[in-house]
Structure 1
Amino acid sequence: MAVVESVLARVPEPLRSVLVKHRELVKFVVVGSTTFVVDNGIWYLLKLTILNTKPTTAKAIAILIATIVSYVLNREWSFRTRGGRERAHEATLFFLVSGVAVAINLVPLYMSRYVLNLEVPHVSLFVQEIADFASGSVIGMLLAMAFRFWGFRRWVFPDELGRKRRETTTDDAPTTVPRH
């Protein structure tokens, strides 16, 4: 039994039915949570050290690294039953959608810092850091995540290309999980 199925087996009904029905979204959120940690870890490492005067640049670098991690995890896990394009074409589409998402992710941080002036010396360092986190890692990330999920399903890993793949794959998860 795969990890996902063993976790689902412990979840009570009716939540289990919802999770099984939206399995792809749940996997996408798990990948997103993982890349959220990667993104913020790298962002704060850069922002608090070598790029302390360039938080937007530090965030862009962190997002790019997290996007590479995201591609691998989404390709091999979240959307593994979709797609079917040539790998280079699929990767190009993935990074184009992700590039737009990077811009979407950076807009709230840019607005916070440079339009609302939520930066030192206009506010305290504490307020600046809270504003950076809220705008760059919460608002921006949620907007970008919604766009990515839609874009990945629509263009990068379209279901119609995955039908043949699912028909030939024998290790797909069952639609229901047995109770224990």
Structure 2
Amino acid sequence: MSAAPADPHAQAGRRGRFRTEVTQFLLAGGLAYAVDVAVFNLCLFLGLDAVTSKVVSSVPATIVAYIGNRYWTYRHRERTGVGREYTKFFVFSAIAAAIQAGCVFVSHHLMGFTSPLADNISGNIVGMALGTLFRFWAFRTFVFKHKSPEASPTVDPALSGAGGAQ
């Protein structure tokens, strides 16, 4: 026998919420991205190394991303404590920033592409794409969790007298 089909309205609602989250995540991230690119290029202009510039630019971008994601994208999600949430957000953002900086390192130092254009392509296009995929997965999985449904009390059949020895 097959299981009863899932409620199509519930599935459509989940898909709609997912699409909304993706859209809002990308818009909040777009603002953070603009901050990241501006600070990165300012650091390059001021003479900082490309990898250092990428690390420095990730700090203000992460702050902008946290505000956009916590108070807009995932505002409907459970709040599990600002300290825990903020710490996890910044840990996962640091991993994503390391992915971006790693792309700049490989391009700049291992492959020899040392122009500002190459640094921007490796850090702000390739690295950002990889980092964004990681961030979306990590934020919605570990940082901004779904609200837990109210737990229904479970009754042990042995204690209820329904099928258990008394």
TM-score range, shorter chain: 0.7 to 0.9
2:120 maps to amino acid = F
1:112 paired to 2:99: no
1:101, 1:83 → 2: CA distance? Answer: 23
List runs of 5+ in structure 1 lacking aligned partners. 1-17, 120-127, 165-180
1:68 paired to 2:55: no
Judged with a 3 Å threshold, the aligned counterparts in structure 2 of structure 1 residues 130 and 26 are, in CA distance, closer, same or farther, namely same
> Could you tell me which residue of structure 2 aligns to residue 129 of structure 1?
116
Residue correspondence of structure 1 range 6-21 to structure 2 within 5 A = none
Judged with a 3 Å threshold, the aligned counterparts in structure 2 of structure 1 residues 41 and 22 are, in CA distance, closer, same or farther, namely same
1:84 paired to 2:71: no
Aligned residues: 136
> Which protein has greater RCO, CA pairs closer than 8 Å, 6+ apart?
1
Residue correspondence of structure 1 range 165-180 to structure 2 within 5 A = none
1:40 maps to amino acid = V
List runs of 5+ in structure 2 lacking aligned partners. 1-14, 151-166
1:92 maps to amino acid = T
Give the superposition deviation at 1:83.
2.9
**TM-align CA RMSD:** 1.7
Larger Rg: 2
- Runs of 4+ aligned residues of structure 1 deviating over 2 Å after TM superposition are 18-21
Give the superposition deviation at 1:160.
3.4
**1:123-152 alpha-carbon deviations (Å, 9 max, x no partner):** xxxxx1221111000000010000000000
Contact 2:78 2:144 in 1 (8 A): yes
1:25 paired to 2:51: no
Give the one of 44, 47, 56 matched to 1:47. Answer: 44
TM-score (norm 2): 0.77
